[in-house]
């Protein structure tokens, strides 16, 4: 009996766990853990598997056998964690719940669960009421699990993602003070970046292409910054319209032929916002004009295509996986396999577009 107690103590310390922490994970008292480690009692048979997973070992190893060579479950969870954007949000949520149950001390799975909880809060059927009881409950769960990662995880990347996601959850609930607290947790960024380092190592055409790629990424960042200004605007303020106009004018300069490549998706969001502002003000003809432009851009969004850019980015090859998860989350879409244009038609059936329902041109847009 004392041998298993010694192994529990050894693995507990290797994982940086106190007796109290281990007891909390297992739902027992710290006195029970102390008795196991002293050899006075042994854990119940039903606790062996959860105990082994918390300690990061196999049941055989905990009981004194050889360490398992492979762990099919962990491999499956790792693949899902690394590629979660490829899968349905609801499926991810169930997988993440099971991963945390099977490996409660693996913080990347806990971060995975928090991520899926945030996405679940904005599944399409709840998008109409982003502050509904369900959405708030899921966002609070996500924050709680992110807090656990932030408090105990040593992996800087996993911890950084948890800080970001907790901040976004608070912001989406309108709790800006709490969001600001998470923002202040971000470490200062090193002044040297990979892009700057590469510029010192490349020459000739290779250097030119690298700089083009750097500008391309910065343009994406700029458009994302613009969208954060106008997407959450509640009314048609002058600064919001100025932001929408500035984004489009910049893209017109960069892509004078009107082929905006993957930036078409940014204009999808922009014209959707423009149309909704016009509906609120009762300008239904103008709203329809914006919706038609929105659908034109939606049909041109690359999806699963690998192609070469032109214009100022001539020669840059971009690979677009069938993956616009954030666009789908923002727009309340739920089928990532379908083109965005088809999904938008379902969104146009929502109540906010009710003033347009009886118009023939609106129905024609849905059918097109």
Please report the DSSP string for 196-210 in residue order.
HHHHHH--HHHHHHH
What is the distance, to the nearest Å, from the Cα of residue 25 to the centroid of all Cα atoms in its chain? 27
Rg of the chain over all Cα atoms, to the nearest angstrom: 25
Confidence at 96, pLDDT banded by 50, 70, 90: very high
Q: Is 307 helix (H, G, I), strand (E, B) or coil?
A: strand
Confidence at 37, pLDDT banded by 50, 70, 90: confident
pLDDT > 90: what percent of the chain?
26
For 101, 347, 366, the CA distances from 357, given in Å and listed in that order, are 47, 12, 10
Q: How far apart are CA 121 and CA 329, in angstroms?
A: 10
pLDDT computed for residue 188 by the predictor: 59
In eight-state DSSP terms, residue 312 is G
Mean pLDDT score, 214-242: 88
Spatial CA neighbour of 227 closest among 265, 193, 199? 265
For 16, 39, 54, 93, 106, the CA distances from 155, given in Å and listed in that order, are 14, 34, 17, 22, 11
Q: How many residues does the chain have?
A: 368
Residue whose token pair is 């840059």: 316
Q: How far apart are CA 103 and CA 113, in angstroms?
A: 12
Residue whose token pair is 């911890």: 159
pLDDT computed for residue 202 by the predictor: 79
0.85 cut: is pTM over it? Answer: no
pLDDT computed for residue 304 by the predictor: 65
pLDDT computed for residue 294 by the predictor: 93
Among 18-27, 61-70, 311-320, 339-348, the minimum mean pLDDT is found in 61-70
Helix or strand run (H / E) with residue 318: strand 317-319
Q: How far apart are CA 48 and CA 283, in angstroms?
A: 66
Residue whose token pair is 């041998």: 3
Spatial CA neighbour of 84 closest among 147, 144, 161? 161
In eight-state DSSP terms, residue 143 is H
Confidence at 324, pLDDT banded by 50, 70, 90: very low
Whether 270 and 250 have beta carbons less than 8 Å apart is answered as: no
pLDDT computed for residue 337 by the predictor: 58
Whether 166 and 150 have beta carbons less than 8 Å apart is answered as: yes
Q: Residue 57: pLDDT above 90?
A: no
What is the distance, to the nearest Å, from the Cα of residue 363 to the centroid of all Cα atoms in its chain? 34
| Residue that wins the pLDDT comparison between 192 and 267 | 267
Average pLDDT of the chain?
Answer: 82
Whether 347 and 326 have beta carbons less than 8 Å apart is answered as: no
For 204, 308, 330, 358, the CA distances from 317, given in Å and listed in that order, are 18, 4, 27, 44
Mean pLDDT score, 81-91: 81
Spatial CA neighbour of 26 closest among 80, 2, 62, 72? 62
Selection from 125-134, 188-197, 213-222 with the highest mean pLDDT: 213-222
Mean pLDDT score, 101-119: 88
In eight-state DSSP terms, residue 186 is S
Mean pLDDT score, 330-344: 61
Whether 272 and 294 have beta carbons less than 8 Å apart is answered as: yes
Number of continuous H segments (helices) and E segments (strands) in the chain? 19, 2
């Amino acid at each position: 009996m004392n041998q298993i107690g010694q192994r529990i103590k050894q693995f507990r310390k290797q994982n940086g766990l106190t007796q109290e922490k281990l007891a909390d994970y297992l739902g027992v008292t710290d006195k029970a853990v102390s008795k196991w480690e002293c050899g006075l009692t042994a854990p119940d048979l039903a606790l062996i598997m959860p105990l082994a997973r918390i300690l990061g070992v196999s049941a055989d190893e905990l009981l004194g056998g050889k360490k398992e060579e492979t762990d099919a479950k962990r491999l499956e969870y790792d693949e899902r964690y690394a590629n979660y954007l490829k899968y349905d949000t609801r499926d991810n949520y169930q997988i993440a719940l099971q991963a945390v149950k099977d490996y409660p001390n693996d913080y990347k799975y806990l971060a995975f669960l928090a991520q899926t909880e945030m996405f679940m809060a904005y599944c399409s059927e709840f998008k109409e009421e982003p502050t509904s009881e369900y959405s708030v409950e899921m966002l609070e769960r996500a924050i709680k699990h992110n807090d656990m990662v932030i408090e105990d995880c040593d992996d800087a990347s996993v911890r950084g993602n948890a800080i970001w996601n907790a901040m976004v959850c608070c912001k989406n609930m309108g709790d800006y003070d709490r969001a600001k607290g998470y923002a202040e947790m971000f470490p200062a960024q090193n002044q040297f970046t990979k892009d700057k380092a590469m510029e010192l190592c490349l020459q000739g055409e290779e250097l030119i292409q690298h700089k083009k790629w750097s500008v391309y990424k910065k343009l994406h960042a700029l458009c994302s910054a613009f969208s954060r200004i106008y997407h959450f605007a509640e009314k048609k303020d002058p600064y919001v319209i100025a932001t929408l106009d500035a984004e489009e004018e910049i893209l017109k300069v960069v892509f004078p032929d009107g082929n905006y490549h993957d930036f078409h998706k940014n204009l999808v969001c922009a014209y959707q916002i423009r149309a909704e502002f016009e509906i609120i003000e009762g300008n239904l003809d103008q709203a329809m004009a914006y919706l038609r432009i929105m659908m034109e851009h939606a049909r041109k969004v690359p999806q699963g295509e690998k192609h070469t850019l032109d214009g100022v980015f001539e020669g840059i090859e971009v690979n677009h996986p069938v993956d616009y998860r954030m666009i789908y989350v923002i727009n309340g879409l739920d089928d990532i396999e379908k083109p965005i244009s088809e999904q938008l038609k379902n969104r146009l059936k929502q109540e906010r577009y009710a003033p347009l329902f009886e118009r023939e041109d609106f129905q024609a847009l849905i059918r097109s």
